[in-house]
Amino acid sequence: MGLHLTKIVHEVGAAARFHRMDSATTSQSLEDTVLVGIFAAVVVFQYGLLLWKRKHPNTYLLTSLFLLWVFPLFIAINNSFWRFTIVWLIYSATNYRVIRAASQPKLDPKTPRFVYRFYRGLFNVTMGIAAFGYGLFLVNAFIFPTATMIDLSITLVFYGLYFGVLSRDLVEYGADRMATTIGVRLFTLFIS
């Protein structure tokens, strides 16, 4: 009887080990399938974005500018990032004034200079903030590692790069608006 009981316990243990190995294999194959599916979706969506950019560049630029401008605000408000929300509101109000000046039906002769000077200065400020944040990160990472300063440096790098890229897209939009007001199509200028 004792030998029979040990044989049953041994068989139950072997079956449990086999079941664990089988479920691990199933889980691993499911993870592989999901990973391949995500990779395929990224490739397909990237190809679709490139086609959209090639076929309809104006709608692509306006949509990407709008999403780049508004989407981070929704995330910031949803997660209660009030510092970013305040900086975003100040940035948007200032840029609204400049884009509005560039979109007037009758342009003042000083408007193009004003727009380009504003965005050149804004670009210098945002890249300076990003560079300072990066330098601060390197100093904190290798010389004086403190969590607060590393958080500050990452925040500065993010703000500098985000607002710098957004400014680049906005100046492109403003230049297009000014050019169409004057009667020149920028898209044809870049092609020829």
| Domain range list for the chain | 1-55, 57-191
More confident call, 108 vs 123: 123
What is the mean pLDDT of the segment spanning 129-143? Answer: 92
Task: Provide the pLDDT confidence category of residue 187 given band limits of 50, 70 and 90.
Answer: low
Predicted confidence (pLDDT) at residue 132 exceeds the cutoff of 60? yes
Predicted confidence (pLDDT) at residue 156 exceeds the cutoff of 90? yes
Indicate the residue type of 53.
Answer: K
Q: What is the rounded (10 degree) CA torsion for 103, 104, 108, 109?
A: 40
What value does the mean pLDDT of the chain take? 82
Indicate the residue type of 11.
Answer: E
What is the mean pLDDT of the segment spanning 107-129? Answer: 90
Question: What's the pTM value of the predicted model, to 2 decimals?
Answer: 0.70
Predicted confidence (pLDDT) at residue 118 exceeds the cutoff of 80? yes
Predicted confidence (pLDDT) at residue 189 exceeds the cutoff of 50? no
Task: Provide the pLDDT confidence category of residue 3 given band limits of 50, 70 and 90.
Answer: low
Between 84-88, 136-140, 169-173, 176-180, the lowest mean confidence (pLDDT) is in 176-180
Q: How far is CA 137 from the centre of its chain?
A: 20
| Cβ pair 69, 92 in contact under 8 A | yes
Q: What is residue 38's three-state secondary structure?
A: helix
